[in-house]
Structures are given as structure tokens and as C-alpha cells.
């Protein structure tokens, strides 16, 4: 995947800064595992602004809930809207967000520092290795133990460090489970998936939204419904011209299929008059809406992983990124490479997935 110049510059600058600070950090022997029986409070540090990366924390959150039911978890994230996805999960106490322009807002920075240091945790988990922002936050947080996988650009003091070694899981959505090693917890026998633990109320709200949308457009509730999301980062985005061809081919093969275009601030208008439209700022209810539909279709993007974590049936359309690493998890979901497929061929695959 190709990144814009400003993203490349930011990543290079951060890498150079971490490398410089790491030269002056104290290198010493560290413990590797914790006594999980004594852990009552945990803070997970992932100051990231992408929906998918925050949803990728859910396998770890859920496994910690199973194995440390007495422990409450706070999470420090970058994106307030995305952080709201995680806060209602059963073992989450609080989600704290970092303002994106913190350095340009001194008062907000002081408020944030005070907030992060108000509580003392048993364990702080640095999920992002040598990330500058993650290490700054880890330094600010009060915790008896601070854990991280080894990175040559670590400069914050950690009480527990492990080498990454061989990954148990190839998919990035399951990478967070590697941190179970710090708690001496066995990896799940059955491969887990993403799961934000939707509430019954959220599911009912989404079902009501879908029912109302179909009713307003005089469409039978018996018809099959496909939700699509047309946005994606950088060159993963699929053009509207392609989506139009796909839609025409889909409706030519099955006139009874209803397509709902999911709108967002970046996609404010629907594809055409042939589709319905829906949006919701509450991302958990949006995920429940994906589940209420018969199929969700999009490129490799955060809402695709939200759909997976909401137990929706998913068809993921990949063109740049690695399907094994970023594809749609779950046995009933399907990920396909569309680079060498026509929109008509993808439409046929869509219908097959819809009716499977």
C-alpha cells in the first residue's frame, strides 16, 4: 500500500526520534511474566486513530476477561469516536482519548497528563513497541508493572519485556493475543475472532432502523439486503465507477436484492438512486446495523473489521493489502482479491456469498 508523502515524513521523523532517545535509555535485565492472580487493574495503551487497529484489541480484551474476571481494564486511545466502540465491553472501566493536536493545546495537554496520572494501575501494556506516542503515554501512566515486547527503539523504562519470537497468529487482528504470554495465559484452543460484544439494546435499535428504512421506501422486509461502504484509506479505495458497474451487474442477476450505501463524513452522498442510504455516528449501532443486513461488502477498511466484530456476514474486497494478514476473520466470512476480477465476476461472488 502506498502512503502519502506527509505520512511517510511523519513515520520517518518518529522513527529517527525514537532511535535517538533509545541511545540514552538504560538497558537492564527485565522480568518476563506476571502473577496474574494479583492483577486487579490494567491499562492498555494504544494511542491510534484508526478504527480497525482499536477493534484489533478485542481478542485480547475478551481473553483477559475470561482469565482475569476480577481485573478491570482502562484503554488509552487516539480517537474518541473509535474508543467509544470499546467502552461498553463488559470488562472495560474507561476509555481515555488523546486529542490529536495535543502539542498545540497546552491546557488540554496538562488536563490529559493529570487525567492519565490520577489512577495507579497494576499493569500498563504498551501495545505499540517503539511508537513515540505510546512510549510517552507509558512514561506518564502510573503502574506497578509496565510491559512491552522488545523493540530496538524502546527508551521508556519497562519492568517486563519479552522478545516477540514466532507469532502464533498471522492475522493482525489476533496479534494482540501475543500479550497473553506476559500473564502466562495459554493461547485459545479455538482460533478467536474480533468481537465488540454488542448489547441486545444495540441490536434492537439497529433492527428497528433497518425495518424503518425499508418501510419508508416501501420495500418488503423479506428481501435480501446488502450494505456497502465505499471509502478506504489511500489506494485501497475502490472507485465509484467500479461500484456502479458492480451494482448494475448485481441487480441484473437478482432484481430483488436491496443495496444500502453506508455514508460517512468522507462519503456524504449515496452512489445512485438505485440504492438506499444509512449513517450512524454511534459506531456500535452501525456495527449492529451491518449484522441486521444479510451481507456487508467493502474494501479493506475499519468498518469492515467493525462488521466482523459485530458478527455480520462479510465479503471483503482486497486490491493492495495482504488478505492473510488483514482479511475478514471468521469462518462464514469471505475475502477475495479483486485485482484480476471484473466487477461482474465480483457481483456473482457477492450473490453466492449472500445466498450461502
Question: What CATH number is associated with residue 259?
Answer: 3.40.50.2000
208 plus 172 within the same structural domain: no
- Burial classification of residue 349, based on how many CB atoms lie within 10 Å of its CB (0-12 exposed, 13-18 middle, 19 or more buried): middle
221 plus 323 within the same structural domain: yes
Q: Does residue 81 fall inside a structural domain?
A: yes
Residue 145: which domain range? 5-183
Spatial distance between the Cα atoms of 128 and 134, rounded to a whole number of angstroms: 6
232 plus 275 within the same structural domain: yes
- How many domains, in total, are found in the chain? 2
32 plus 95 within the same structural domain: yes
251 plus 332 within the same structural domain: yes
Q: Does residue 260 fall inside a structural domain?
A: yes
* Residue 8 pLDDT: 47
Q: Does residue 12 fall inside a structural domain?
A: yes
165 plus 289 within the same structural domain: no
222 plus 300 within the same structural domain: yes
* Residue 172 pLDDT: 94
207 plus 307 within the same structural domain: yes
Q: Does residue 192 fall inside a structural domain?
A: no
148 plus 91 within the same structural domain: yes
Q: Does residue 188 fall inside a structural domain?
A: no
13 plus 98 within the same structural domain: yes
* Residue 16 pLDDT: 55
206 plus 139 within the same structural domain: no
Residues of the chain with pLDDT under 50: 3, 5-10, 20, 23-24, 29
Q: Does residue 98 fall inside a structural domain?
A: yes
Q: What is the pLDDT of residues 18-27, one digit of tens each?
A: 554 554 455 5
* Residue 40 pLDDT: 96
89 plus 204 within the same structural domain: no
* Residue 189 pLDDT: 87
* Residue 106 pLDDT: 64
Q: Does residue 117 fall inside a structural domain?
A: yes
pTM for this entry: 0.90
Amino acid at each position: 500500500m502506498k502512503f502519502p508523502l506527509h505520512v511517510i515524513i511523519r513515520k520517518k521523523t518518529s522513527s529517527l526520534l525514537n532511535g535517538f532517545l533509545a541511545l540514552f535509555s538504560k538497558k537492564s535485565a527485565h522480568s518476563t511474566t506476571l502473577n496474574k492472580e494479583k492483577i486487579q487493574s490494567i491499562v492498555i495503551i494504544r494511542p491510534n486513530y484508526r478504527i480497525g487497529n482499536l477493534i484489533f484489541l478485542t481478542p485480547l480484551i475478551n481473553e483477559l476477561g475470561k482469565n482475569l474476571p476480577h481485573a478491570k481494564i482502562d484503554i488509552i486511545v487516539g480517537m474518541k469516536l473509535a474508543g467509544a466502540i470499546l467502552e461498553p465491553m463488559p470488562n472495560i472501566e474507561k476509555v481515555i482519548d488523546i486529542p490529536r493536536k495535543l502539542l498545540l493545546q497546552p491546557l488540554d495537554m496538562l488536563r490529559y497528563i493529570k487525567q492519565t496520572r490520577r489512577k495507579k494501575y497494576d499493569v500498563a501494556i504498551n501495545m505499540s513497541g517503539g511508537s513515540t506516542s505510546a512510549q510517552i503515554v507509558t512514561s506518564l501512566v502510573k503502574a506497578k508493572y509496565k510491559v512491552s515486547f522488545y523493540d530496538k527503539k524502546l527508551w521508556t523504562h519497562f519492568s517486563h519485556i519479552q522478545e516477540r519470537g514466532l507469532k502464533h497468529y498471522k492475522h493482525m487482528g489476533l496479534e494482540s493475543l501475543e500479550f497473553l504470554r506476559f500473564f502466562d495465559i495459554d493461547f485459545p484452543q479455538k482460533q478467536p475472532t474480533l468481537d465488540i460484544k454488542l448489547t441486545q439494546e444495540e441490536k434492537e435499535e439497529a433492527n428497528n432502523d433497518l425495518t424503518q428504512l425499508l418501510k419508508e421506501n416501501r420495500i418488503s422486509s423479506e428481501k435480501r439486503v446488502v450494505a456497502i461502504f465505499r471509502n478506504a484509506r489511500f489506494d485501497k479505495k475502490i472507485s465509484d465507477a467500479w461500484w456502479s458497474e458492480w451494482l448494475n451487474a448485481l441487480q441484473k442477476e437478482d432484481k430483488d436484492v436491496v443495496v444500502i450505501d453506508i455514508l460517512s463524513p468522507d462519503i456524504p452522498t449515496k452512489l445512485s438512486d438505485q440504492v438506499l442510504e444509512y449513517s450512524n455516528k454511534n459506531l456500535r449501532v452501525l456495527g449492529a446495523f451491518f449484522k441486521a443486513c444479510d451481507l456487508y461488502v467493502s474494501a479493506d477498511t475499519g468498518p469492515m473489521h467493525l462488521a466482523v466484530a459485530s458478527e455480520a456476514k462479510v465479503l471483503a474486497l482486497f486490491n493492495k493489502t495482504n488478505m492473510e494478514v488483514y482479511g475478514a476473520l471468521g469462518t462464514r466470512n469471505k475475502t477475495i482479491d479483486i485485482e484480476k476480477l471484473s466487477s461482474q465476476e465480483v457481483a456473482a461472488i457477492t450473490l453466492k456469498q449472500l445466498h450461502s
